[in-house]
Structure 1
Amino acid sequence: MNQISLARRLAGALLLIAPLAGHAARQIELDSPDRQLRVTIGTGDHLSFAVSHRGTDLVLPTPIGITLAGIGSLGDKPRLAGQQRRSVDTVLRPVVAQKSREVRDHYNALQLDFAGGYALEVRAYDEGIAYRFRTSLPGQVTVEDELAGVNLRPQDTLYWPQEKSMQSHNEHYYQALTVGDAAGKLVGVPALVQNGGVHLVFTESGLRDYPGLYLHGEPAGLRAIFPKVALAETARDDRNVPVTQEAAYIAHTDGNRTFPWRILGIAADAGGLLLNQMPYLLAEPQELKETGWIKPGKVAWDWYNGNKLYGVPFKSGLDTRTYRHYIDFAADNGLEYIIMDEGWYKLGDLLAVKPEIDMPGLMAYARQRGVGIILWVSWKTLDTQMTAALDQFARWGAAGIKVDFMQRSDQWMVNYYERVAREAAQRRLLVDFHGSFKPSGLQRTWPNVLTFEGVKGLENNKWSDKQTPEHDVTLPFIRMFAGPLDYTPGAMSNAHRKDFAASFDRPMSQGTRAHQLAMYMIYESPLQMLADSPSQYRANPSSLEFIRQVPVEWDESRVLHAQLGRYVAMARRRGDTWYVGAMTGADGRDLELDLSFLGDGNYQVDSMEDGPNAGVFATDVQKGSASVTRSSRLAMQLAPGGGWAAIIRKTK
């Protein structure tokens, strides 16, 4: 199951790394609008692409193609029938403003039409290169495999999440190895390659009716591999349903279609990756017509602390009284939602609410207090009860669903994600995918999908000591490139590595309190969690007061400082107010905050900073304030594993 035969590995490796016989044949070039990037399409014995940046090779000639049963390899001995070029420069206005209220879509495009009913579409942005195949074949086709990947230098540095199987939650830490050292290993996506000072992120978008992409390490490159069509599966319980038999092909699909975009985000400075919106731009266009009901927001989350409260006049647990308390906490602090995570229904039956919970009463109370309730569900149970369950949730007045434990990305499962999004949208329900693969464009097509997990997030502190500040400052450059990430920040119990202890019921985070607060400006999630318990937040009123003021959508984003795996600082604007967050890894550091991004006039800075003893006591956080203008400079002093967070408001 999900094993790659030795023969296939060797054949793929030889094709990926062998010099292309048609290299001397016709080559067709496409430059980015700023002429810094060039993609070269080879049309010799086999279709290929290569990428250069300012004249330096980044991706060496790499064969690409799609193999269809009964037809053969599209890309083998291609016969060019025509080509079209165009330039586009327009502006999109997303329903949900993850990075910015407006997104510039500026690229040069090339379409190569080939005999045999297929075409290759290529786009060159200033921020990267992308390509996809298009077929115009009658009826259905069976895709046996797709040839994709990147030929690189063995000495290039690869930041990657190693996978054991393509049946995965896609939650791993990033390793930094050479490309050559990754040979023979399964690589998760997105993955980042450093070539000299240039950063390249490989991912996909426009994923529909097709399996999600993984990479396999080769001696001098990365080759795409895909989960095959599932023929049989075994349900171990309500969530673990591993595939036990696979077909010999990866998809059976419409012959007249476009295939997913293969994306290479490219930045000379790592900070450029933080503003790159290619995955959104290359997603399939929005299908949901009415979107006024979609409301991003912050969420009080129960599961991180296991519904455990203190300082309340009742025994907390999975019951109505505890959830009324969560509703009150959300309402009192301007939070839009609470999540009722696992435990509210009898596992295996979404219609069987546990007797300790008065669901209609809770929904009515939440509605009265202006708070929405998002309901956790196991994916398999939802699959078997989708219509009945979603109809019931809508009758109750639920705001959305959190779908968990899919841990697959074969064609059927990719279609399941879209089915959930569509069915939820028909009932005006938001969606949060957990136990998921990386975002691949669905959030544009169905904007009621607000966020995805697919990230090694805060919850891992409950059972592991590997959730380090270094990991926290790696995620924005790689995982966040693909789309929103439900990291679930907001830990109020904080410790440095030497004092840290994993605890399932009373978890703590590594790094300082200010490090956690800065995540609300750094990590993009239009459904942003407050992971800790209401009791913990009430015991830390200054931190709560700061978090409750931070929005989840942004009119504008700017990178202030960025170095992969070491530190990151960003400024986000909402209206006339700016929000600044800075995080560092293991090393403490001083960063200068250049306020030239502000408009004219006077501003007030209210900050939450590492306290003077934060290097020892990670919970040490202090408030700061300053009157500034756009010509001002401020010092951000970050302790090891530290952070800095501020709200900057215009004054009269």
Structure 2
Amino acid sequence: MKIKLFTLVLIASLLGCSENNNEMIEVSSPESKVKVEFNINDTGQPYYTVKYNNGVVIDTSYLGFEFTNSEAIDSNLKIMTADISSFDETWQMPWGEQIDVKNKYNQLDIKLQETTDLKRQLNVVFRVYDDGIGFRYEFPEQEGWAEALIKEEHTEFNLTEDYKTFWIPGDWDIYEHLYSETMFSEIDAISKRDHPNLAQTYIPNNAVNTPTTLVGEKGLHLSFHEASLVDYSDMTLGVDKENLKFKSILVGSENTEYKVKRSLPFNTPWRTIQISEDAPGLIESNLIVNLNEPNKIGDVSWFKPMKYTGVWWEMHLNKSSWDYGMEQVDGKWVDTGKAHERHGATTENVKRFIDFSAKNNIGGVLVEGWNTGWERWIGFPDREGVFDFVTPYPDYDFEEVTNYAREKGVEIIMHHETSAATETYTKQMDAAYALMQKYGMHTVKSGYVGKILPDGEYHHGQYMVNHYNNAVEKAAKYQVAVNAHEPIKATGLRRTYPNAISREGLRGQEFNAWSIEKGNPPSHLPTVAFTRMLAGPIDFTPGIFNIKFDEYKEESQVNTTLAQQLALYVVIYSPVQMAADLIEHYEANPEPLQFIKDVGVDWEKSTVLNGEVGDYVTIARKEKGTGNWFVGGITDENSVSLKLDFDFLDKNQDYEAILYKDGPNAHWDNNPLDIMIEKLDLNNKSSLDIKLAEGGGFALSIMKKASE
């Protein structure tokens, strides 16, 4: 790792400067693409602006805080010192979209103090990269102020034009909404209520969740998010349509007047703006992970990125069930011997998945519905104490399954559905993780379906931010990696805690199984790639081959072609990728299954070949350790023709490739299974013209030829 660090202290550190006569403080990115300007106005209000290639991107935007136990900090401030420093390192991901990550920025540290009697101190730190900025507030240790009860954070992002905006509502409980594409001035988040059955929060403000991506009239791309969300509340962005301005709105609690409670000293999360001249640049940006602290848990070689199958999709198709079928007798839930014939997590069924995975280069099997409690969790207002995370149902032999998996070289992925009963899960975490460690299980999929218990808390408030992060820290002590569903959003903490491997936090594949009305339209994933995926890895569960699934649900379907389902293994990144369909559907389609067998999950580097937000995207990734490449491209409801250049391939190296593309009559609705498979010879001078059908895609495996 190479680090350069130096400090420039601005003139006399600006100490004692009049708040009415400050000169603008400027800091630019290493290549001067991005510039931040900071100052205070005549009333002592701090503000900043952002320029990109000398054009104003964020105009005068004010900063401040409102408290329940003290006066607001938003005026009567003066600049005490302003220091500029530079930093340059290259660090390595233990797993990820690439190995080497360049982290190079210039930093501005501003120390502010009130001119009033309280004389409270507040610092603002900006890190300026060539692909955007991050800034945070620092509350230093000081006399007379030991605790901050934050009622609201007032951070502004004042836009300079009416951007085309890709957004979901600022829901305090879920991120599982469809993205809307409107002009900024037309955002109406209050009326966007897609599915109130899933613990959705009524949205009291016209606000959006992050990441939110904006596209300007001249092609400038912005994405607003946050990094290193620790012991704080999720930030949503309130929308001032008339003044074209975002303003932070923190997620609160029904149990307290404040939204964040912190003892001084502390830092807030970073407020981030990714900036790019085109859509691919947003995906290639490492701003979010770079703004997080380095690895705190040490060696994580015990976690291996992998593909997995499992007992999951069959429940969404109603082929089987999560619950075993225990019955209530004299007010108690007991096994009456009438085992539920539709129970999915049986010893024999799981062994089927183990056999299939072992045969097809798939490293894991997820088992949902293995543990007691599934009969009681839906519809019961008091869900505390319902789930037991160490006790299996009678038809699931824990010892036999884990031994069988070990013999086959397959890892069982644990499942912990908490039903959002946080106290129950917290009490059982040590025992549950210890059980996993005993049987050599290194990955858990956790779930938090339902309203949070204790009552009055939200999935995205400070209480739950701490719960999610505490679970990851505790899991690391047992060598367990966490794939969280119904989670807090990703903010790059996978750098600090590499066992935070993936998460949901979007409308997943399961929505396609529920009904056509609730399914994801073809534009969903080409939007997700430039919005939600900017935050971090996504456990989307691709690989559905039986697109229409008329055998189980005639009223539902997946709204893509088969070729797009293959492409998703490359486009939508996660170090754990599920082959989500039923075994029998894969065995009936051995040729497209070959791509799932071949495709990697851990990458040496990635490059975005093309793309437009919400329309289409093509990504190429080089597999770590093999030198093989995989390419995936997807589109929305519109067909698109692309020309691919393969100059990203190694020079003087020949490759043999297999192309999986939409057939001539393919269409996401009319003919989703029309697929063509052909072999190609490629090198870094090759090019390829390819057409993606409506709702379609293509997948390409590119293997090195052996030297003659």
Residues 1:221 and 2:264 are matched in the alignment: no
> Partner letter of residue 675 of structure 2?
V
Cα deviation digits, residues 68-87 of structure 1 (max 9, x gap): 45453444232111121112
> Partner letter of residue 107 of structure 1?
Y
- Name the residue aligned to 2:181: 176
User: Mapping of 1:586-625 within 5 angstroms?
Assistant: 586-601=637-652, 602-615=654-667, 616-625=670-679
| 1:451 CA drift (Å) | 0.2
1:502·1:508 contact (CA, 8 Å) conserved in 2? no
Q: Compare CA radii of gyration and give the structure with the larger one.
A: 2
2:161·2:216 contact (CA, 8 Å) conserved in 1? no
1:346·1:354 contact (CA, 8 Å) conserved in 2? no
Mapped to 1, the partners of 2:555 and 2:585 lie a distance apart of 10
1:109·1:124 contact (CA, 8 Å) conserved in 2? yes
- Name the residue aligned to 1:645: 699
After superposition, the Cα gap between the structure-2 partners of 1:502 and 1:143, relative to the gap in structure 1 and judged at 3 Å, is farther
2:468·2:487 contact (CA, 8 Å) conserved in 1? no
- Name the residue aligned to 2:483: 432
- Name the residue aligned to 2:323: none
Mapped to 1, the partners of 2:558 and 2:410 lie a distance apart of 28
- Name the residue aligned to 1:487: 540
| 1:140 CA drift (Å) | 3.4
- Name the residue aligned to 1:365: 404
1:96·1:526 contact (CA, 8 Å) conserved in 2? yes
Mapped to 1, the partners of 2:371 and 2:236 lie a distance apart of 35
**Secondary structure of residue in 1 paired with 2:544:** coil
**Secondary structure of residue in 1 paired with 2:138:** strand
| 1:191 CA drift (Å) | 0.7
> Partner letter of residue 206 of structure 2?
K
2:544·2:581 contact (CA, 8 Å) conserved in 1? yes
After superposition, the Cα gap between the structure-2 partners of 1:536 and 1:149, relative to the gap in structure 1 and judged at 3 Å, is farther
- Name the residue aligned to 2:6: none
Cα deviation digits, residues 412-433 of structure 1 (max 9, x gap): 1111111111111111111110
- Name the residue aligned to 2:193: none
- Gapped regions of structure 1 (runs ≥ 5): 1-21, 231-244
Cα deviation digits, residues 518-550 of structure 1 (max 9, x gap): 111111111111111111111111121111211
Residues 1:341 and 2:359 are matched in the alignment: no
- Name the residue aligned to 2:277: 268
Cα deviation digits, residues 125-159 of structure 1 (max 9, x gap): 11111100112125433223211131225622221
| 1:276 CA drift (Å) | 1.0
> Partner letter of residue 111 of structure 2?
D
Mapped to 2, the partners of 1:607 and 1:470 lie a distance apart of 23
- Name the residue aligned to 1:159: 166
Mapped to 2, the partners of 1:71 and 1:79 lie a distance apart of 19
Mapped to 1, the partners of 2:428 and 2:696 lie a distance apart of 46
User: Mapping of 1:7-406 within 5 angstroms?
Assistant: 26-44=23-41, 45-97=44-96, 99-115=97-113, 116-138=120-142, 139-153=146-160, 155-163=162-170, 165-166=171-172, 168-182=173-187, 185-196=206-217, 197-219=219-241, 220-228=244-252, 230=253, 245-306=254-315, 317-347=344-374, 348=386, 349-379=388-418, 380=421, 381-405=424-448
- Return the TM-score normalized by structure 2: 0.82
Mapped to 1, the partners of 2:123 and 2:372 lie a distance apart of 49
**Secondary structure of residue in 2 paired with 1:325:** helix
Structure 1 runs of 4+ aligned residues shifted over 6 Å read: 307-310, 500-503
1:152·1:179 contact (CA, 8 Å) conserved in 2? no
> Partner letter of residue 32 of structure 1?
S
**Secondary structure of residue in 1 paired with 2:139:** strand
Mapped to 2, the partners of 1:577 and 1:352 lie a distance apart of 43
- Name the residue aligned to 2:628: 577
Cα deviation digits, residues 614-634 of structure 1 (max 9, x gap): 234211112111112211111
After superposition, the Cα gap between the structure-2 partners of 1:501 and 1:57, relative to the gap in structure 1 and judged at 3 Å, is farther
Mapped to 1, the partners of 2:645 and 2:20 lie a distance apart of 49
- Name the residue aligned to 2:525: 472
> Partner letter of residue 246 of structure 2?
L
1:584·1:642 contact (CA, 8 Å) conserved in 2? yes
Mapped to 2, the partners of 1:535 and 1:134 lie a distance apart of 56
2:465·2:488 contact (CA, 8 Å) conserved in 1? no
**Secondary structure of residue in 2 paired with 1:473:** helix
After superposition, the Cα gap between the structure-2 partners of 1:482 and 1:504, relative to the gap in structure 1 and judged at 3 Å, is farther
Cα deviation digits, residues 10-41 of structure 1 (max 9, x gap): xxxxxxxxxxxx99853222212222222221
Mapped to 2, the partners of 1:462 and 1:650 lie a distance apart of 38
Correspondent of 2:559 among 510, 513, 526: 510
After superposition, the Cα gap between the structure-2 partners of 1:324 and 1:114, relative to the gap in structure 1 and judged at 3 Å, is same
2:346·2:370 contact (CA, 8 Å) conserved in 1? no
Cα deviation digits, residues 393-414 of structure 1 (max 9, x gap): 3334333221112660111111
Structure 1 stretch displaced more, 54-63 or 103-112: 54-63
Mapped to 2, the partners of 1:431 and 1:546 lie a distance apart of 26
Structure 1 stretch displaced more, 283-292 or 179-188: 179-188
Mapped to 1, the partners of 2:149 and 2:317 lie a distance apart of 51
Mapped to 2, the partners of 1:100 and 1:66 lie a distance apart of 38
- Gapped regions of structure 2 (runs ≥ 5): 1-18, 114-119, 189-204, 320-340, 375-385, 450-457
1:144·1:250 contact (CA, 8 Å) conserved in 2? yes
> Partner letter of residue 28 of structure 1?
I
Mapped to 2, the partners of 1:159 and 1:24 lie a distance apart of 40
After superposition, the Cα gap between the structure-2 partners of 1:625 and 1:316, relative to the gap in structure 1 and judged at 3 Å, is farther
> Partner letter of residue 274 of structure 1?
I
1:460·1:467 contact (CA, 8 Å) conserved in 2? yes
Cα deviation digits, residues 527-583 of structure 1 (max 9, x gap): 111111111111111121111211111111111111111110111112421111111
| 1:505 CA drift (Å) | 9.6
**Secondary structure of residue in 2 paired with 1:445:** coil
1:583·1:641 contact (CA, 8 Å) conserved in 2? yes
Mapped to 2, the partners of 1:321 and 1:445 lie a distance apart of 39
After superposition, the Cα gap between the structure-2 partners of 1:459 and 1:600, relative to the gap in structure 1 and judged at 3 Å, is same
- Name the residue aligned to 2:13: none
> Partner letter of residue 104 of structure 2?
H
Structure 1 stretch displaced more, 555-564 or 465-474: 465-474
Mapped to 1, the partners of 2:105 and 2:515 lie a distance apart of 44
- Name the residue aligned to 1:631: 685
After superposition, the Cα gap between the structure-2 partners of 1:501 and 1:74, relative to the gap in structure 1 and judged at 3 Å, is farther
> Partner letter of residue 613 of structure 1?
N
> Partner letter of residue 248 of structure 2?
A
> Partner letter of residue 688 of structure 2?
L
| 1:267 CA drift (Å) | 0.8
After superposition, the Cα gap between the structure-2 partners of 1:75 and 1:109, relative to the gap in structure 1 and judged at 3 Å, is farther
Mapped to 2, the partners of 1:304 and 1:333 lie a distance apart of 18
